[in-house]
Structure 1
């Protein structure tokens, strides 16, 4: 059978918590904190008001409470005022494939054409890329102009040797 209402609360209040001791501990902690938070600068210590908040004290002294707010008006990433310079800057942002990626894409296009599912199942897909990942990689490869330049491939002879698609390029420039 249950207890009458309030009995358990009274028992808890009766012996478990000592308010006097708790307040004494709080006061001791505050004293320690106040000793730790000493201000070394004489000018700030003299003009500091304990009754005011940190933000109000800093404003009254003419100091910034948050240095990041002072720099919020500065724009670090401004566009060039001259649009010709802007276009030149955007032209330089080309995505470049590494030699292994070029080999992979050229091999897949040579062997499968546009059959991305077959590319996904190929044994050379050792990173186990999905159909969508291979499709985007091949589309980037085809869109990038630097891979279509034959002189680019001559600078990497290791790229040309195993692929029949580039065999004609080697014979043409040798």
Structure 2
């Protein structure tokens, strides 16, 4: 049976590739995976994290968005500064996140159907005789 055409060629080492940097870049790209699909699809790789989140209407640092008030400040000394509101260019991301958060949480702590049937069978057969239940192995 004939071999594939490229399989007989000798493998050569590429000296002009920095393998350490190549592996580090691969790890960095793999680590920067966004779990949320809504954010991941609206992400622009040409922009910074802060710019991307600002366009989606999200905040990178909650302390900057909602600053804490200082307690010992006179009302005369405070100049009310209005922050320029950033334009939300991708409001659909925020709407999708709010819609997803409004769904009721799915309960995942139920037993399997086979185990429920087995326990029901054993209880019907033995009643409250727990020693007989422990001896019974299907």
TM-score with structure 1 length normalisation? 0.31
TM-score with structure 2 length normalisation? 0.38
